[in-house]
A = this chain, B = another copy of it.
Amino acid sequence: MSEAALLSNAAAEPKTLVEGAYQRLRRDIIEGVHAPGEKLRVEHLKDQYDVGAGTLREALLLLVTDALVVTQGQRGFRVAPISIADFEDITRTRVLLETEALRQSITLGGDDWEASVVAAFHRLSRAEEKLADHDPGTTEEWEKRNRAFHEALISASPSRWIRHFQNILYQQSERYRRISPFRQPIERDIHAEHQALFDATLARDTTRATSILTEHILRTLDAVKRMPTDFFTGKKKL
């Protein structure tokens, strides 16, 4: 695993079996294939992912890094549980880090940065058009481009650590968004928000850009808070 993989979880070519299993497992957890709180038995999963027991253990250990898997003492591995409080924490911390990174980007970003933002926004807009037409299977693509757009915005920040932490948190919030009850159709408003964010950023209006970004991120919080609270306590398999 390269430093890039360490600091960004980028989807590089898996050069080792551990990496491969790690990436597939991570995707499956984020997409909800493995439910929150679910026990992850090495014996079962090693067949499912076609690797040895030791290799799978190492992959699970790497997922502990991302806080997508928890492990305690001698009692094996488990998909990280979810809670409203946790999602609120993730969201607010994301705001703190991402606004700071955006501030730095706007201050320091050059032509290359602007170009990458323009490009990412363009790609995202196209995906949102297709989404409005209710094309099936485009959600996956939108998800990737949305992330790419957010990453482009802060890519001129010189702080590798902020970007590293931001990646972890984005991953976390993506899992929350994808878990069924939260899953909501991507509305038309989202595009307007992205447009406003894009405009303010390119205009180098730091105050306005960070303000929009804050609202944008916090919006996802409302949807979750409207969920029935017993969802979290109800279906945990112990």
Given A62-B61, A165-B165: A89 in contact with B158 (beta carbons within 8 A): yes
In the complex, are the beta carbons of B160 and A6 less than 8 A apart? Answer: no
Chain A window 156-192, contacts with chain B (Cβ cutoff 8 Å), 1 for yes, 0 for no: 0011111011000100000000000000000000000
Q: Name the distance in Å between A161's Cβ and chain B's nearest Cβ.
A: 4
In the complex, are the beta carbons of B3 and A70 less than 8 A apart? Answer: yes
Residue A58 contacts which of B57, B97, B158, B169 (CB distance < 8 angstroms)?
B57
Given A61-B58, A64-B62, A74-B16: A93 in contact with B161 (beta carbons within 8 A): yes
Q: Name the distance in Å between A56's Cβ and chain B's nearest Cβ.
A: 12
Q: Which residues of B contact A15 (CB under 8 A)?
A: 73-74
Copies of this protein, total: 2
Q: Which residues of B contact A96 (CB under 8 A)?
A: 96-97, 100, 162
Q: Which residues of B contact A64 (CB under 8 A)?
A: 1, 6, 62, 65
Query: 8 Å CB contacts to B: which residues of A35-89?
Result: 54, 57-58, 61-62, 64-65, 67, 70-74, 85-86, 89
Report the separation of the CA atoms of residues A183 and B54 in the bound assembly, to the nearest whole angstrom. Answer: 40
- Pairs across A and B, CB under 8 Å, 20 listed: A1-B71, A1-B72, A1-B73, A2-B73, A6-B64, A7-B67, A15-B74, A54-B54, A58-B58, A61-B61, A64-B65, A85-B158, A92-B159, A93-B161, A93-B162, A93-B165, A96-B97, A96-B162, A161-B169, A165-B165
